[in-house]
Chain A
Amino acid sequence: MADALDREEQAALMDREIYELALQQPDGLDADFLKVALPNYPLEVAVNGVNRLLKAGRLELMQVGTRILYRGVHAGEFERMAGLTGDERLVYKHIENSGNEGIWVRTLKQKTNLLQGVITRCLKGLEQKALIKSIKSVKHPTRKLYMMIDISPSSDITGGPWYTDQEMDTDFIEQLASQCYKFIYLQSYPRAMPRGVYSANHMAYPKSSVVHRHISTNGISTVALSVEHIEELLTMLVYDGKIERIAPAFEVDMGRGGGQSLGTKPKTDWMYRALRVSNMDSPFTDIPCGRCPVYDQCGDTGAITPAKCEYLKTWLSF
């Protein structure tokens, strides 16, 4: 009788030791670690302890590749998980693992193999316990996504500074883009000469970092913008035909370099220059005669006359 109690006390002590060890190892411990750390207990006894702790919820099973690890569950976490059923715990773990990206209900179903009704119930329970929240992504506005209640969704989901409440803030984007354009325009053409341009090797066109500094210091945007955000705006202006990219000068490397793999590309520090659209259409350039290669031979008679002209025919068939 005393023997059995003794054994129970011993087992509880050993469990305690294992639990403390696990808490000290944030990445989890495995069976080999236990062997080294607890030389007094035979391995099977220790493994029994581990199983007891797993069942009680004090230890958690993790799989990293092919290795199995045991992680200690801290007191606070234990409290939270204690109130959950096994299914709820499973669902909660998956949602936790999705971090700030959130997880779609369908992915949850595929990963847990639980039925639709079970999942709906678990999600409702977890929501009522204020452990998770449902969010919407701008890329898939109808998908049901869930994430931990205290984490902020990633900018991929919220759309970053360009979206307000799941809607694209076109006014904001327009305003910022025109500010960038004006700034670039002022630096693209010499102020002294109204119709002049800089020479071909002029290198002082603004780079994206310069534009970014200008926008940030001007306080035009209430939200902090990174250089990447500004580059997105500049790319938009390039496709709109308002500005162009100019490659900075680079050294030509004639040495015996190694090859470059297909995937990597060094980031080029482009310069940006505003484009001036020329509206100077004159009748001399409009009519095909202005650009005709056989203008000198054209007359009222002969093989080349306006009546038989191919260029005029195409031009007149608008």
Chain B
Amino acid sequence: MKYLDVQSFRTINSRLSFPTTSGDRHVVGRVEAYSCKVAGADKKLYRFLENKYQDDLKEAKNLSPEQSSLTNIVSPFGPLTQSASRKTLFYLIATLNASFPDYDFSSLSADQFTKEPSPSFALKSINTTLLNVGCPTTLRTSRMWDSIDSIIEIDDCDVYSYMPAMESDPYEDEGPVWSFNYFFFNKNLKRIVFFTCRCVSNLEELEETSDQELIFGDLMNDPVKTEYYPTSQHALKSMTIGGGLKF
């Protein structure tokens, strides 16, 4: 996937980083445009995915009809038996790989994506989320959707969303309060606009203290000395406060 450097996106991205109205969290997001031009590494990914699909198909043939349920055929991109649907999955995975260079999403399956009912659905969802959390005026007046529309023609797009399992979440090490990942895919223009955003708590220090440290605090590493007494009289004798008890 070829990254397209769009000037208006740069402005949007600088404004997509803001503190929430509650003050204890901040939102970080970015919008990126990609063209579906397949580079060398992408070709390798495509071949890898195709091989994986063929292997899965072979395995499914060996299982009984009940075991190989239709879940591995139907996908949010259409039936996986059609190569066009597999191509869409490939584009989305390649976009994720390009946007998160520390990660490799080639092991993802189609069921971790969902298709949004319509582009306006996704738009409304994103707007609501951002507005609820205190989207600053600079972002609201930036005509973000107009810029995106000029690149991708939102109305002609298929919109997909990536809902990762906890281990496959590119934001797993930050433990965000929420995050979303939307792909605006225009088949005719062969372009994808990737809109990703997360809300992270500012209270980082708390996560690093273990439960034991929270409860015992400074007493953690000091040995608690217990002393044993053979009889309770002995105990009473040593518990003298002030005058003490005379035995």
Chain A residues engaging chain B, CB cutoff 8 angstroms:
104-106, 109, 116, 120, 134, 136, 139-144, 166, 254-263
Interface residues of B in 195-247 (CB under 8 A from A): 212, 216, 219-221, 223-228, 230
Q: A261 and B168: CB pair below 8 A?
A: no
Q: B102 and A104: CB pair below 8 A?
A: yes
| A21→B15 CA distance, assembly (Å) | 59
Min distance, Cβ A124 to any Cβ of chain B, angstroms: 9
- 16 new A-B contacts, CB < 8 A, other than A142-B104, A166-B107, A257-B228, are A104-B102, A120-B101, A139-B167, A141-B168, A142-B105, A142-B167, A143-B104, A255-B228, A256-B227, A258-B223, A259-B225, A260-B224, A261-B221, A261-B223, A262-B221, A262-B224
Min distance, Cβ B44 to any Cβ of chain A, angstroms: 12
Contacts of A263 in B (CB 8 A): 221
The answer, yes or no, to whether B103 is at the interface (CB within 8 Å) is yes
Contacts of A261 in B (CB 8 A): 221, 223-224
Contacts of B175 in A (CB 8 A): none
Contacts of B167 in A (CB 8 A): 139-142
Q: A254 and B216: CB pair below 8 A?
A: no
The answer, yes or no, to whether B172 is at the interface (CB within 8 Å) is yes
Which of B102, B170, B223, B227 is within 8 Å of A260, CB to CB? Answer: B223
Q: What 3 A-B pairs come out closest when comparing CB atoms?
A: A259-B225, A261-B223, A106-B102
| A260→B168 CA distance, assembly (Å) | 41
Which of B169, B223, B224 has most A Cβ within 10 Å? B223
| A141→B172 CA distance, assembly (Å) | 11
Which of A139, A142, A256 is within 8 Å of B170, CB to CB? Answer: A142
Q: B223 and A259: CB pair below 8 A?
A: yes
| A105→B107 CA distance, assembly (Å) | 18
Write the chain B residue with the least CB distance to A139.
Answer: B167
Q: B103 and A142: CB pair below 8 A?
A: yes
Q: A256 and B101: CB pair below 8 A?
A: no
Q: A143 and B103: CB pair below 8 A?
A: yes
Interface size on B, residues (CB 8 A): 24
Contact with A along B166-189 (1 / 0, CB 8 A): 011110100000000000000000
Min distance, Cβ B209 to any Cβ of chain A, angstroms: 16
Min distance, Cβ B231 to any Cβ of chain A, angstroms: 12
| Number of CB contacts from chain A to chain B under 8 A | 58
Write the chain A residue with the least CB distance to B106.
Answer: A142
Q: B102 and A144: CB pair below 8 A?
A: yes
Q: A140 and B228: CB pair below 8 A?
A: no
Write the chain A residue with the least CB distance to B96.
Answer: A142
Min distance, Cβ A152 to any Cβ of chain B, angstroms: 20
Chain B residues engaging chain A, CB cutoff 8 angstroms:
101-105, 107-108, 167-170, 172, 212, 216, 219-221, 223-228, 230
Min distance, Cβ A103 to any Cβ of chain B, angstroms: 11
Q: A141 and B107: CB pair below 8 A?
A: yes
Q: A259 and B226: CB pair below 8 A?
A: yes
| A119→B7 CA distance, assembly (Å) | 26
Given known A-B contacts A140-B172, A262-B220, A262-B224, A116 and B101 have beta carbons under 8 A apart:
yes
Q: A254 and B223: CB pair below 8 A?
A: no
Q: B223 and A136: CB pair below 8 A?
A: no
Q: B102 and A254: CB pair below 8 A?
A: no
23 A-B interface contacts by CB (under 8 A): A105-B101, A109-B102, A116-B101, A134-B104, A141-B107, A141-B167, A142-B105, A142-B167, A142-B168, A143-B103, A143-B104, A144-B104, A255-B228, A256-B227, A256-B228, A257-B226, A258-B223, A261-B221, A261-B224, A262-B212, A262-B216, A262-B219, A262-B220
| A10→B107 CA distance, assembly (Å) | 60
Q: A136 and B172: CB pair below 8 A?
A: no
Q: B102 and A259: CB pair below 8 A?
A: no
Min distance, Cβ B49 to any Cβ of chain A, angstroms: 15
Q: A136 and B228: CB pair below 8 A?
A: no
Q: A143 and B101: CB pair below 8 A?
A: no
| A318→B134 CA distance, assembly (Å) | 46
Min distance, Cβ A142 to any Cβ of chain B, angstroms: 5
Contacts of A106 in B (CB 8 A): 102
